[in-house]
């Protein structure tokens, strides 16, 4: 399954995976997972055993596990039960889980992790050779709103550490920056893209009507 240019928001699960639950092979690019809830683990993205998930230029923020506050629920952003998860150029921040666990953004083992912004890595094991990651910092993002395009996004504020912190743009491999952002606006060819689904400074084209007198 491939999902691109989408926003998952306002969803709630009585179990796990409030935003998205992966039980197969899934490719996600230029997506926002924000403001979802799960009574148990993972309000954002849940990866079950034997599943494979690859994430590129995602924004996963403001999701809440243990929404029923019974002390059961971890990994508000991502919960990796098993399987394989690869994460590139992605923001995972400002998520919450049970106060008894405190693995808010990520819980489990990430197979590959490059050029991400993960605010809280407690409970998250970054395997392989993780490079270019920003940790322990707020993403400095705006609210989920219409920033152009057909889906809502979180804009990066001027002081965001995600600005120009993604991998150097190059066509081809999935772990490179996407050519466009979630709004289908161009990223910076030849340079480093922004981490996350939103590319700051991407020009929005306006088509004005022509009036003939």
Give the separation between CA 5 and CA 210, rounded to whole angstroms.
31
pLDDT of residue 66: 74
Q: Which helix (H) or strand (E) holds 4?
A: strand 2-4
pLDDT of residue 112: 93
pLDDT of residue 55: 96
pLDDT of residue 154: 99
pLDDT in tens, 66-125: 766 666 666 789 988 889 999 999 999 999 887 777 888 999 999 999 999 999 999 899
CB 67 within 8 A of CB 73: yes
Segments in the chain below pLDDT 50:
206-208, 211
pLDDT of residue 210: 52
pTM for the whole thing? 0.90
pLDDT of residue 20: 83
- Rounded to the nearest 5 percent, the helix, strand and coil shares of the chain are 0, 35, 65
């Amino acid at each position: 399954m491939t999902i691109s240019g989408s926003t998952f928001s306002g969803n709630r699960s009585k179990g796990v995976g409030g935003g998205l639950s992966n039980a197969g092979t899934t490719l996600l690019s230029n997506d926002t997972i924000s403001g979802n809830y799960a009574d148990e683990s993972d309000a954002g993205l849940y990866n079950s055993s034997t599943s494979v998930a690859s994430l590129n230029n995602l924004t996963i923020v403001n999701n809440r596990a243990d929404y029923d506050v019974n002390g059961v629920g971890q990994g508000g952003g991502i919960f990796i039960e098993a399987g394989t998860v690869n994460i590139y150029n992605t923001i995972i921040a400002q998520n919450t889980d049970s106060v008894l666990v405190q693995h808010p953004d990520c819980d489990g083992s990430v197979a590959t992790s490059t050029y991400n912004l993960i605010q809280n890595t407690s409970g998250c094991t970054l395997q392989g050779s993780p490079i270019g990651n920003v940790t322990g910092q707020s993403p400095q993002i705006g609210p989920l709103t219409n920033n152009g395009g057909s889906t809502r996004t979180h804009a990066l504020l001027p002081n965001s550490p995600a600005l120009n912190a993604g991998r150097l743009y190059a066509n081809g491999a999935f772990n490179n920056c996407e050519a466009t952002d979630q709004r289908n606006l161009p990223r910076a060819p030849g340079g480093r893209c922004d981490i996350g689904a939103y590319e700051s400074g991407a020009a929005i084209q306006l088509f004005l009507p022509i009036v003939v007198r």
